A and B are shown apart, each in its own frame.
Chain A
Amino acid sequence: MPLDDFKKEIYLCSRCGYCRDMVRARDNTDHLCPIRENTSGFEIYSARGRNWIARQILEERMSTKDFTERFIDSLYSCLLCGNCTEHCLVLEPESWSRFPNNIFKDHIIHMDEITRSLRSLVVEEGTPPPEIRNVLLNIYRHGNPFGKPREKRDTWTRELGFDIKNATEEKCETLLYVGSNASYNERNQKTARAIARILKSANVDLGILGTREEDSGGEVRELGEEGLFEELAKRNLKLFREHGIVNIVCLSPHDYNAFINYYPELLKEEWSRLDLTIQHYTESIADLLRKGELTVKGKLDKKVTFHDPCYLGRKNAIYDAPRKMIQATGADLIEMKLSRSNSYCCGGGGGGLWYEPLDRPKVENERAKQALDTGADILAVACPNCAQMMEDGIKAIEGKIKVMDVAEIVEETINMK
């Protein structure tokens, strides 16, 4: 969406600064912007500052030609974690009756979307940082951000222990949309296998798109490359239509978010006509556990803390499903001080997985410390980006806590061979 489309939101920002500094006792709100507090902290490292710059562009006091390296850094340092939007008090009047229990979509000023729109101006200008340019080029050329060969997209299935259907060759009830990260990243391939095994043990008729799977483009859009995102969205639409896909289980919250929020906005009726049921795997597995179609063997005698992924929690209000999975294992679930809608980003959202900001904020180390403070044995995650970042963070601070995906935790306890 061009910046003009955010005009109403930009002008509704009354510069109260709550997106930057809110500390609120009643619900433990603290550390609101992980980037502002871990960088030089200039106003451009906050949503309020960037909104103000956006307004100067709308009023033609500035143009994209004025964008400096520091400003571009502030745009790509932002993790698009949405904590600023979540705490903005400019709420849809219709949602006031829900106050103070508003959901993400009740907030009128989408700070993260305004930042994303400013990024698209940077891409149009041809000046994104080199790491970001490489990621976009890799996706354009190879279909994944790592620049790995397309034919290796399904190598994660080799150690699966059973044959999984290829949805492009035979019908399946449910498609596991693995996404680029878990297709190629060794750590997250384990999560993909755990999910596939859990779903198989519950007799889900499961398939994958294998080497024909396309990147969802969610993160491409977040990096500001609207054109490439559109191309990828159209390819996925065609693929799902061609192969009669009806149910999709997403591994990554980023892909889930793209299908749920970005695709309908871009593809409109074409997308809605597919009538897809799209779930994040935590929802699918929590459902199977609830219905008794998946049984858990024994009790996991561990203390587990759960890190809410921003794109699952704040942006899509899925907070309970991963917790239900943990509780089903009998583990002792301990909450971090910053959890659910107040969760602190792992540092891997909005391009954080790839971009090395000028001030090197190391958000993952801060979140790792917060997890350690709980005294838990396991730090559970439900997103491949979070898994990578939290492992890095724990390693950096030499913490004694094991990072596991909730699917890996459940896999350890289910009744399966």
Chain B
Amino acid sequence: MNLVEELAKIVGSSYVSDDLMVRWSCSMDSCIYDNIEPTPPAIVVRPKSNEEVQEIIHLANRTKTPVYPRGGGTACSGSRGNKMLSSILIDMTRMNNIVEIDEESLTVTAQAGTTWGKLNAELEKKGWRLGFKGPYSGYASTVGGGVAYQSNGMGSTKYGVLAEEVTNLTVVLPNGDLLKTGTAVNPNAKRYYRYCIGPDLTGLFIGSLGTLGVITEVTIRIYPKATHSAFGAYAFRDYESCQACYYEWLKNRLAEDLWWYAEDGLNVMVPELAEKGHKSMLCYVVEDANNELVEASKNLLDQIAKEKGGEPQDPKYSSDGWIYKFETLPRWVAKIGTWQWTCHLAPAGGALKDLKEVLSYINSRKEECKSKKVYSSTVSIAQKNAGHVSTSIYYDESNPESVKLTKEMVDEIVKIAAKCGGCNYKPGKLWYPHTIMKNPVYRDTLIRLKKSLDPNNIMNPGALTLPDEFWEEE
């Protein structure tokens, strides 16, 4: 059977290709692991509808061909499995329609390939906004990719990671069936709530990296467009007072977003503050449709910061990052090189412990970093009751020594974070050795789930440490 011809019958000959260059152009994403050894898929296909995805999956099952669903291609922690070379890569970005903005249910449903940029822009036009606005790569990354990858990002302080805002999913299962989750289990019901009917099957697919099915539609909560906003930035001369302020800010849940630049971040991002002896800076964003609420929140956050010893800074440090959301990171690339993230969760009140350990390690490699032009910026971005601690390593991808050092540092930082009790939210190769591989019961449960849903193991085999072939394990 010629797979390309069969796929062409499903999506049309324009939207399937096994051309060498088409394949190679999909051999990357944004992770250092996948860029050192890029691997192209066997075939790239671009479906337009749920039905086309179902037919593709039927075909893959009949032929036992691995499948890798891909959103914006911006994953940065190693989401690819081990069968890329023989896989059909499903490029979801042609499925980019907003299905419905449901004002009655306060939700929006979008096809999985819709970018966060498009979703935000369309909602804004209609007088709405998202709580979780998208990951930091939001102009190109997709809502389906965000769910499969368990994204955090802009707005996570108040609304949590994307998972917490998702109410319903539509998923093409590995057998080709179309599963609708949440209230949509009732054929007469709209898509508006997640925790109902029975076990939370929505959650099963969040962070699944496409191993359990292809997410084709995502329903997310919406809120009235913010008409008022306030921004604040405070510098601190020691970490302890900064941590205290961060914790208090986070506890009162007023900020839409708040983040903490550690010393290395200040050196790179705001050197003028580092030069004045500041160790870190906290920024907050408040926004709402009601100005009184915004003003009151701002006053309280400012008061807390001052009580904890924060020195007020130009609110531009905060507003720039928010107004130009999704635009900050690529700009830094120009100055100091491309980046690789670590990223882990730590308890809100304990983020400092992780930060200090990570910073101490980075300091120990200071001279090497200097000579190989590797820079770091460590931040902690609040996420409800947790702090997302992340070190961005900026490096020169054209210099093998710089790449080698970066990879070593990333692996070591992740190791330190795991030892401190941190946990990844984004699944991927960076973290497997410290989490899933350390917990046989968790992994075994995953394998059983995978086996029952995907007996031919066609969906992104090898990802999440799941076996490439089941018989290897038996």
Residues of A within 8 A of B (CB): 7-8, 11-18, 20-26, 30, 39-44, 48-50, 52-53, 56, 61-62, 66-68, 70-71, 74, 88-93, 96, 99-100, 108, 359
Q: Which residue in chain A gives the minimum CB-CB distance to B324?
A: A100
Q: Which residues of B contact A14 (CB under 8 A)?
A: 30, 329-330, 333, 338-339
Contact call A359/B331, Cβ cutoff below 8 A: no
Contacts of A89 in B (CB 8 A): 327, 330-331
B2 at the interface (CB under 8 A from A): no
Assess A11 versus B22: contact at CB under 8 Å? Given A17-B137, A24-B139, A40-B15: no
**Inter-chain contact B29/A15, CB cutoff 8 Å:** yes
Task: Type the 1/0 row for B44-58, where 1 means its CB is closer than 8 Å to any CB of A.
Answer: 101000000000000
A residues near B17, Cβ cutoff 8 Å: 40, 42, 70
Q: Which of B25, B27, B330, B337 has the most CB of A within 10 A?
A: B25
Q: Please name all residues of chain A whose beta carbon is closer than 8 Å to the beta carbon of B117 when the two chains form the complex.
A: 21-24
A21-B140, A25-B121, A42-B17 known; A96+B30 contact, CB < 8 A: no
Q: B20, A16: Cβ atoms under 8 Å?
A: no
Q: In the complex the two chains form, what is the Cα distance from A8 to B22 in whole Å?
A: 24
Q: Give the distance in Å from the alpha carbon of A53 to the alpha carbon of B27 in the complex.
A: 10
| Contact of B292 with A by CB under 8 A | no
Q: Flag if A18 contacts B334 (CB, 8 Å).
A: no
B188 within 8 A of A: no
Known: A14-B333, A44-B22, A68-B21. A24 touches B74 (CB 8 A): no
**A90 to B397 Cα, complex, angstroms:** 15
Name the CB-closest residue of B to A46. B25
B28 at the interface (CB under 8 A from A): yes
The distance from the CB of A22 to the nearest CB of chain B, in whole angstroms, is: 4
Distance of B372 from chain A, by nearest CB (Å): 14
Q: With the chains together, A164 CA to B327 CA distance in Å? A: 52
Instruction: Sort chain B's interface into a size bin.
Output: 35 or more
| Chain B hits for A16, CB < 8 A | 30, 74, 137, 139-140, 329-330
A88 and B72 contacting across the interface, CB-CB below 8 Å = no
B387 located at the interface, meaning its Cβ lies under 8 Å from any Cβ of chain A in the complex: no
By beta carbon, the residue of chain A nearest B336 is A93
Residue B24 at the chain A interface, CB threshold 8 Å: yes
Give CA–CA (A14, B31) in the complex, Å. 10
Residue among B30, B73, B140, B334 making CB contact with A91, cutoff 8 Å: B334
Is B19 an interface position by the 8 A CB rule? yes
Which residues of B are found within 8 Å of A91, using beta-carbon distances? Answer: 331, 334
B311 is an interface residue with CB less than 8 A from chain A: no
Q: What's the minimum C-beta distance from B20 to chain A, rounded to whole angstroms?
A: 6
Kindly state the separation between the CA atoms of A42 and B15 in the bound complex, as whole angstroms: 8
Q: Are A17 and B141 in contact (CB under 8 A)?
A: yes
Across the interface, A24 reaches (CB within 8 A) one of B27, B121, B137, B330, namely B121
A70 CB, nearest partner CB in chain B, Å:
4
Partner of A11, one of B94, B329, B397: B397
Say yes or no: B335 contacts A68, CB within 8 Å.
no
Checking A20, A26, A56, A88 against B38 with a beta-carbon cut-off of 8 angstroms, the contacting residue is: A56
Q: Which residues of B contact A96 (CB under 8 A)?
A: 331
Identify which of B14, B19, B120 contacts A359 (C-beta below 8 A).
B14
Q: Are B27 and A52 within 8 A (Cβ)?
A: yes
- Point out the residue from B24, B29, B93 that lies within 8 Å of A56, measured CB to CB: B24
- Distance to closest chain B CB from A397 (angstroms): 22
B118 contacts partner chain A, Cβ-Cβ < 8 Å: yes
Tell which of B115, B120, B137 touches A25, judged by Cβ atoms closer than 8 Å.
Answer: B120
Q: For A100, list chain B residues within 8 Å (CB).
A: 324, 327
B398 within 8 A of A: yes
Contacts of B323 in A (CB 8 A): 26
Closest chain A residue, CB of each to CB of B35: A15
Interchain CB contact (< 8 A) of B398 among A7, A20, A67 = A7
How many contacts A-B (CB < 8 Å)? 144
- Most chain B CB within a 10 A radius of its CB, from A17, A53, A100: A17
Given contact pairs A43-B25, A53-B21, enumerate 5 new A-B contacts (beta carbons under 8 Å): A17-B140, A21-B140, A52-B27, A53-B24, A68-B19
Contact A62 B72 (CB under 8 A): no
Complex A-B: 14 CB contacts under 8 Å: A8-B398, A15-B74, A16-B74, A21-B93, A41-B94, A42-B44, A43-B44, A49-B25, A52-B27, A56-B27, A56-B38, A68-B19, A71-B22, A93-B335
Q: Residues of A contacting B72 with CB < 8 Å?
A: 17, 21
Contacts of B28 in A (CB 8 A): 15, 52
A89 vs B333: C-alpha distance when bound (angstroms): 9
Chain A residue numbers with a CB within 8 Å of B46 are: 40-42
CB distance from B118 to the nearest CB of A (A): 4
Candidate in B26, B124, B140, B397 with the most chain A CB atoms within 10 angstroms: B140
B102, CB-defined interface residue at 8 Å: no
A92 to B334, CA, bound (A): 6
CA gap between A21 and B113 in the complex, in Å:
11
Residues of A within 8 A of B326 (CB): 18
Residue of A nearest to B74 (CB): A17
Query: Which residues of chain A come closer than 8 Å to B330, judged between CB atoms?
Result: 14, 16, 18, 88-90
Residues of B within 8 A of A99 (CB): 324, 331
Select B118's contact among A23, A43, A68, A88, beta carbons within 8 Å. A23
> In chain A, what residue has the closest Cβ to B124?
A25
A16 to B17, CA, bound (A): 23
Q: Find the residue from A14, A67, A91 having the highest chain B CB count within 10 A.
A: A14
Across the interface, A52 reaches (CB within 8 A) one of B24, B140, B334, B337, namely B24
Which residues of B are found within 8 Å of A70, using beta-carbon distances?
Answer: 17, 19, 21-22
Do A15 and B73 have beta carbons less than 8 Å apart?
Answer: yes
Residues of A within 8 A of B62 (CB): none
Cβ A23 vs Cβ B115 within 8 A: yes
B276 interfacial by beta-carbon distance below 8 Å: no
Check if B248 is an interface residue, CB within 8 A of chain A: no
> Among residues 1 to 40 in chain B, which have CB atoms less than 8 Å away from a CB atom of chain A?
14-15, 17, 19-22, 24-30, 38
Distance (whole angstroms) from the CB of A71 to the closest CB of chain B? 4
CA distance A16 to B136 in the complex (A): 10
Is B396 part of the binding interface, using a Cβ–Cβ cutoff of 8 Å? yes
Most buried by B among A16, A91, A92, A96: A16
Docked pose: A93 CA to B38 CA in angstroms? 30
B contact residues around A359 at 8 Å (CB): 14
Instruction: Select B140's contact among A20, A61, A74, beta carbons within 8 Å.
Output: A20
Q: Is the C-beta of B438 less than 8 angstroms from some C-beta in chain A?
A: no
Rounded to whole Å, the gap between the CB of A180 and the closest CB of chain B is 32
The reply to whether the CB of B370 lies closer than 8 angstroms to some CB of chain A is no
The docked-state distance in angstroms from the alpha carbon of A23 to that of B325 is 12
Inter-chain contacts of A17 with B (CB < 8 A): 72-74, 137, 139-141
